[in-house]
Structure 1
Amino acid sequence: MRNINPQTQEQSVEGIATFIETTKEKVTQKDIAMRLLRNQLGGPGSCLTVRRGHNMRDQSVMCLLVHAYVTLTHFNKVTNFIKPLTDLILAPHKMMNMFLPTMPQDDIDAIRQSLTREGTIVFYQCQNGHPYAIGECGRPYTEATCNICKTKIGGLSHQAAAGNTQVTGDQTRPGHVLGKSSRQNQCLCR
């Protein structure tokens, strides 16, 4: 590339851009083709942008990322088995309330179902969401301390302590088992 006259290179880019804009059947994703041609995929500072001084390893990784990006954006318009993957990579905001296979399931619901066969067991959660069980009549009549967060659990005179609520049904929540994103390492590719 360093032997190409910048003026000739600019004329070539403009010729290809004209072809992309005017063709009706050959180029289906004109926006991506134009951004790729003008080296504007991913925005300023993106790892999808070619910059002066890239070594061969960086160029190879960038090529793989560009191919993955183009492939995913092509298939993102089609609803099929790859749609969740493309949304997760290209539009993570769409996945905020989705249930992913890696999320922890609600084991408390299975425990509740097996214990209720033996008698009355009612599950509650402390004000921080940690579960606990009450037997006999299933209503709180003594106070205790949550083993996890040390807040008050149970209650008096069949009234739950402040912030304690009865848990019913499956409590599976969207998310993943990796923990909060604020605790994860910074992204290496910017």
Structure 2
Amino acid sequence: MASNHEAYELLERIGNLLRNEARQMGNEHGLHPVHIEMLYYLQRCNLFSDTPAALTEFLGITKGTASQSITLLESKGLLSKNKDLNDKRISHLKLTEQGETLIHQICPPARFIPLLEKVENDSPHVIMVLKQLLSDMQQGNDKASFGVCKTCRHHEVRSETEFFCQLTQMTLAREFGELICKEHDEEFTDKKD
């Protein structure tokens, strides 16, 4: 029986193609899909979201899977794990140079980049629809949205080079606003950056 959810089927198929390509490239480096997802997350998250707990929540994996995967990625020299300077109970995960290089090669898959750029350049309305769909889905799941910092209600632009996070009471560099954050609060009104 055919489904009447064409949007779901299209998104699922696109996601499957992207995952399969990343999986194949990961296999060449002895990595499973969860390892690629972890590296990709760490490439995009901010310093409030680079902990094993945030990683576990974002990916929806068990603590055991996260712990074993972190150990493996450390042993391959793809990430480092460091204690927080203020709270030694907290560890921060950071991609190494080797990890950064690898994830740039894998995500997004090189052969799909021209197609993705075509959509972004020729069909900005598609991007807007996808952003709205993502926002609606995140709001409906009662979990942290892990949204991009600059779209958060706590994000306050202060200058060309920095912004202020009202939640953490910290002044941060503008590029930090492009990263995803566990503390993201979707309630905002069309901010300019």
Would you call these one fold, judging by a TM-score over 0.5? no
Q: Of Structure 1 and Structure 2, which has the larger fraction of its residues in helix? A: 2
Larger radius of gyration: 1
Higher relative contact order (CA 8 A, sep 6+): 2
> Taking structure 2 as the reference length, what is the TM-score of the superposition?
0.21
